[in-house]
């Protein structure tokens, strides 16, 4: 009796498994499945996680010309029970191109749904081809042209080559594993030079720089700590309104978290302020005691000196007590300032910190001068009664008003220009302190405090009362811009090198990389190449680095070492400052007449605004609320799918509008003073980031994708390291980072970066001769905030 029908309906494995052995093909055929970076939406991910194209023996031809790699079926991976598939379980396969794998077909003999169960390893004597061959089932390297091969896997001796069995189709193809293997065996059993160098490096002593008194007033650390505090607090506030921020930031109680951040910042900043006050105290006490010593000389009879000395000791005790009262209340004074700026400051320019320090020092010096006058009063009366001159003591009173004069003197001209550093964006330069503005702010606050303490007998109690009730509203009365700015391309800053005046604009690709730099002003006086910083005020872009080249004391060009990622080429309507984005390009912001800001409002929310409020729509249009009564407005979701933002809809007609600040196009030719201008990039040179080794200039070919017509050739030393690259043809019209690598059967690890010549359309090249597809619009940020 026939029990089997024409169609097999048994479960998988009931009639046995259909096994297979195959080889994972070149990575370029399946790498789109593995996302290069996280995406905001799942549909933006190109593939379906870890799947591989596998050429299977007996089912697929060995010749890729008959059945190309793209036509092969996708193979999924069988994970171990320790991996899991949901509920937080995660596992990452470590399969590479060229690996021989085995498994079974989910669909049996149909052979269209292969499942990978395991991988077969090579041994250290297996000969491996460097490039994927056209014929299948031949061992080839798991490293692609984008990978750097570990030096422990590179050959130690030039002629140390293993044997390999050559198929007819690959005969004559040179193997590349020269006693180096792509297995884990050789990595743990083979002595190599890299480990020896690492061991020597770990034992090398490192010199730690000592702290120098370059600045007695240093606003930089205070500015940085205020910036970090505001960034953290605004992120915590946003957990109330923004879902993405809420799910990525664990905050159980918003108000408690804000208090914690504020308290920590207050302690840190108080420590910086205390250093300034310590210097003031040192200067005042020194001046006071020097004056007392001069007064002793004027006493007519030596027998009277002990009485004056006793009064001088009392005066010093009173001054020390006054400073203790000031120090005791510093934490509260700093805390009051920080609380006052929480809803006012979105960005923190140096001028804002100068205003704070000036106001604080003015209040402190006013209290000190009052304390000095009260402490020295009895001594002056005693000396006058003895017929001694008191002119030296008269000079001390009022001295604290000029405290900044001795706080800013004796600066070391060799001090570093660096202010702070982080591993993502690198160094930040020290801005120039506006001593005049700070001194003016201090004198204004000084006069108010001094007048308020005039005639008060108990100075110590009065000082404590003033410190506890300190008000810093005077800090917010000038034109220092502490509000948000519209996010756009990064600004370029040059610092160091002995010169000044250099300025430039960044050239950003559509992919958000920083392709190059257009020099606007070459500056002058540079004796060594300055450092360059790409300052992204909203923190969108990161990791771009460059090297400056100078000629005759001027900046000639900037060679990009890393082009980074995430930069935006034109303002997109978002707002921020201090390296973070405060409001997204679909959010509505509100500024009140007292200078405070609401937390940015999400689309689709009903909010209440009042006369005098400035409402900034998504996209940048500002609406000033007029009339006499408060009103409700609704922030709408975008209506037109092609429009990233939509205007704010008012429910009452009592508003006036101001033009949008969003920049507009300026036409074809450069307009360097306003707006943007077009440039076209030409390959000018190649920057050798890593020279690699074992290359052959007579056979190896440099590949540029896309080439835009560019052709280059390499020069090598006897060991095959690249010593130079000649640009045979420059190519023109680059609008993205080209992929540059070397096709070589023997060479490894060279990294080449393009250096572009910037041609301005209308100046360096004619508009008619340029293809529109090769033009990049550059936003002119020089001289703009």
Complete DSSP assignment for 188-245: HHS--HHHHHHHHHHHS--PPPPP--S-SS-HHHHHHHHHHHHHHHHHHHHTTT-HHH
Domain assignment present for residue 341? The answer is yes
Per-block mean pLDDT, blocks of 10 residues, the chain (785 long): 50 80 92 69 72 94 90 92 76 89 91 93 78 86 82 57 47 52 58 52 46 59 88 88 73 89 92 83 77 68 66 76 81 89 88 83 78 70 59 54 52 51 54 60 68 61 70 74 90 91 93 93 94 89 92 94 90 88 90 92 87 88 86 65 43 37 38 67 93 92 93 93 93 92 90 93 75 80 62
Q: Please, is 426 exposed, middle or buried when counting C-beta atoms within 10 Å of its C-beta (0-12, 13-18, 19+)?
A: middle
The pTM for the full model equals: 0.73
Question: Do 561 and 433 lie in a common domain?
Answer: no
| Peptide bond between residue 525 and the one before it cis (omega within 30 degrees of 0) | no
Domain assignment present for residue 545? The answer is yes
Q: What token pair was written down for 765? A: 């090249």
Helices (H), 398-454: 403-407, 435-453
Q: What token pair was written down for 227? A: 């910036």
Question: Do 391 and 294 lie in a common domain?
Answer: yes
* Cα 143 from chain centre: 30
List of residues 6+ apart from 495 with CB closer than 8 A: 417, 429, 530, 531, 533
Question: Do 615 and 535 lie in a common domain?
Answer: no
For tokens 């006013």, what's the residue?
366
Task: Give the separation between CA 679 and CA 685, rounded to whole angstroms.
Answer: 18
For tokens 């692609």, what's the residue?
144
Task: Give the separation between CA 122 and CA 408, rounded to whole angstroms.
Answer: 68
Domain span at 751: 676-779
Task: Give the separation between CA 514 and CA 506, rounded to whole angstroms.
Answer: 7
Question: Do 318 and 462 lie in a common domain?
Answer: yes
Question: Do 646 and 681 lie in a common domain?
Answer: no
Task: Give the separation between CA 353 and CA 224, rounded to whole angstroms.
Answer: 10
Domain assignment present for residue 264? The answer is yes
- Cβ-contact 605, 599 below 8 angstroms: no
- Cβ-contact 704, 697 below 8 angstroms: no
Measure the CA dihedral 547/427/232/36, to 10°: 30
Summarize the chain as % helix, strand, coil (round to 5): 30, 25, 45
| Domain end point (choices 565, 595, 622) | 565
Q: Cβ of 282: how many Cβ atoms within 10 Å?
A: 12
Q: H or E segment at 631?
A: strand 631-634
Q: What token pair was written down for 73? A: 């079926």
| Domain end point (choices 616, 632, 658) | 658
Task: Give the separation between CA 431 and CA 435, rounded to whole angstroms.
Answer: 12
What are the backbone dihedrals phi and psi of residue 13, each rounded to the nearest 5 degrees, phi first? 90, -15
Question: Do 262 and 363 lie in a common domain?
Answer: yes
Taking the alpha carbons at both ends of the chain, their separation in whole angstroms is 89
Q: What is the pLDDT of residue 183?
A: 67
Domain assignment present for residue 440? The answer is yes
Question: Do 430 and 305 lie in a common domain?
Answer: yes
**At 681, is the secondary structure helix, strand, or coil?**
strand
| Domain end point (choices 565, 585, 603) | 565
Domain assignment present for residue 108? The answer is no
Nearest-CA neighbor of 586 among 637, 537, 621? 637
Question: Do 400 and 461 lie in a common domain?
Answer: yes
Question: Do 543 and 515 lie in a common domain?
Answer: yes
Q: What is the pLDDT of residue 640?
A: 45
Q: What is the pLDDT of residue 639?
A: 41
Q: How many domains does the chain have?
A: 4
Question: Do 357 and 380 lie in a common domain?
Answer: yes
Domain assignment present for residue 644? The answer is yes
Question: Do 533 and 614 lie in a common domain?
Answer: no
Domain assignment present for residue 401? The answer is yes
State how far the alpha carbon of 231 is from the alpha carbons of 223, 449, 486, 577, 648, in Å. 12, 33, 16, 9, 26
Question: Do 630 and 524 lie in a common domain?
Answer: no
Q: What is the pLDDT of residue 422?
A: 54
Domain assignment present for residue 389? The answer is yes
Q: What is the pLDDT of residue 3?
A: 46
């Amino acid at each position: 009796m026939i029990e089997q029908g024409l169609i097999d309906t048994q479960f998988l494995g009931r009639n046995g498994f259909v096994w297979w052995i195959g080889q994972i093909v070149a990575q370029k055929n399946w790498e789109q499945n593995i996302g290069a970076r996280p995406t905001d939406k799942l549909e933006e991910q190109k593939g379906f996680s870890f799947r591989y194209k596998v050429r299977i023996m007996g089912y697929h031809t060995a010749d890729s010309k008959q059945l190309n790699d793209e036509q092969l079926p996708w193979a999924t991976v069988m994970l171990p029970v320790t991996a899991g598939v949901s509920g937080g379980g995660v596992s990452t396969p470590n399969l590479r191109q060229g690996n021989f794998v085995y498994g079974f077909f989910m669909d049996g003999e149909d052979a269209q749904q292969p499942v990978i169960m395991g991988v077969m390893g090579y041994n250290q004597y297996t000969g491996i081809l460097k490039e994927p061959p056209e014929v299948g089932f031949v061992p080839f390297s798991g490293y692609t042209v984008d990978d750097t091969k570990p030096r422990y896997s590179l050959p130690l001796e030039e002629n140390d080559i293993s044997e390999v069995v050559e198929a007819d189709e690959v005969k004559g193809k040179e193997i590349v594993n020269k006693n180096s293997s792509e297995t884990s065996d050789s990595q743990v059993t083979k002595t190599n030079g890299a480990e020896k160098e690492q061991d020597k490096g770990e034992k090398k002593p490192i010199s730690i720089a000592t702290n120098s008194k370059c600045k007695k007033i240093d606003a930089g650390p205070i500015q940085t700590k205020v910036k970090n505090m505001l960034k953290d607090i605004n992120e915590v506030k946003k957990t109330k309104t923004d879902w993405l921020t809420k799910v990525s930031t664990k905050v159980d109680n918003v108000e408690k978290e804000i208090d914690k951040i504020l308290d920590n910042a207050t302690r840190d900043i108080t420590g910086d302020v205390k250093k300034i006050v310590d210097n003031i105290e040192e200067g005042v006490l020194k001046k006071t005691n020097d004056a007392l010593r001069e007064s002793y000389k004027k006493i007519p009879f030596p027998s009277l000196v002990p009485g004056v000395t006793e009064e001088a000791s009392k005066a010093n005790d009173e001054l020390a007590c006054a400073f203790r009262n000031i120090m005791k209340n510093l934490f509260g004074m700093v805390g009051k300032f920080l609380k006052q700026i929480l809803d006012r400051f979105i960005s923190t320019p140096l001028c804002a910190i100068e205003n704070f320090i000036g106001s604080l020092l003015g209040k402190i010096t006013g209290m000190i001068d009052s304390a000095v006058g009260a402490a020295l009063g009895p001594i002056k009366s005693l000396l006058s009664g003895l017929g001694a001159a008191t002119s030296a003591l008269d000079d001390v009173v009022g001295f604290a008003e000029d405290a900044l004069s001795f706080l800013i003197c004796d600066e070391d001209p060799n001090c570093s220009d660096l202010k702070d550093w982080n591993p993502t964006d690198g160094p930040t330069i020290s801005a120039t302190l506006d001593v005049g503005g700070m001194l003016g702010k201090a004198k204004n606050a000084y006069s108010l405090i001094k007048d308020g303490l005039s005639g008060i007998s108990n100075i110590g109690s009065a000082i404590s009362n003033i410190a506890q009730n300190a008000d810093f509203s005077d800090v917010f009365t000038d034109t220092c811009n502490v509000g948000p700015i519209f996010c756009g391309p990064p600004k370029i800053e040059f610092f160091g090198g002995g010169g000044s005046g250099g300025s430039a604009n960044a050239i950003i690709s559509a992919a958000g990389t920083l392709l190059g730099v257009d020099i606007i002003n070459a500056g002058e006086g540079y004796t060594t190449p300055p450092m360059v910083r790409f300052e992204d005020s909203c923190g969108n872009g990161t990791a771009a680095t460059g090297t400056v080249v100078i000629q005759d004391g001027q900046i000639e060009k900037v060679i990009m070492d890393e082009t980074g990622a995430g930069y935006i080429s034109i303002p997109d309507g978002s707002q921020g400052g201090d390296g973070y984005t405060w409001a997204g390009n679909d959010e509505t912001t509100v500024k009140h007449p007292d200078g405070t800001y609401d937390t940015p409002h999400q689309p689709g929310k009903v909010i209440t605004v009042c006369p005098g409020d400035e409402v900034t729509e998504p996209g940048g249009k500002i609406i000033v609320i007029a009339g006499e009564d408060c009103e409700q407005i609704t922030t709408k979701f975008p209506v037109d799918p092609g429009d990233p933002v939509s205007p704010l809809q008012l429910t009452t007609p009592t508003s006036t509008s101001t033009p949008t600040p969003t920049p507009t196009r300026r036409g074809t030719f450069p307009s360097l003073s306003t707006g943007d201008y077009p440039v076209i990039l030409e390959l000018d040179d190649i920057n050798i980031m890593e020279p690699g080794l074992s290359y052959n200039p007579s056979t190896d070919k440099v590949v540029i994708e896309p080439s835009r017509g560019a052709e280059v050739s390499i020069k090598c030393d006897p060991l095959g390291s690249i010593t130079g690259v000649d640009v045979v043809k420059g190519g023109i019209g680059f609008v993205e980072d080209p992929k540059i690598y070397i096709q070589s059967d023997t060479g490894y690890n060279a990294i080449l970066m393009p250096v572009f010549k910037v041609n301005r359309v209308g100046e360096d090249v004619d508009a008619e001769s340029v293809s529109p597809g090769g033009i990049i619009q550059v936003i002119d940020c020089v001289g703009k905030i």
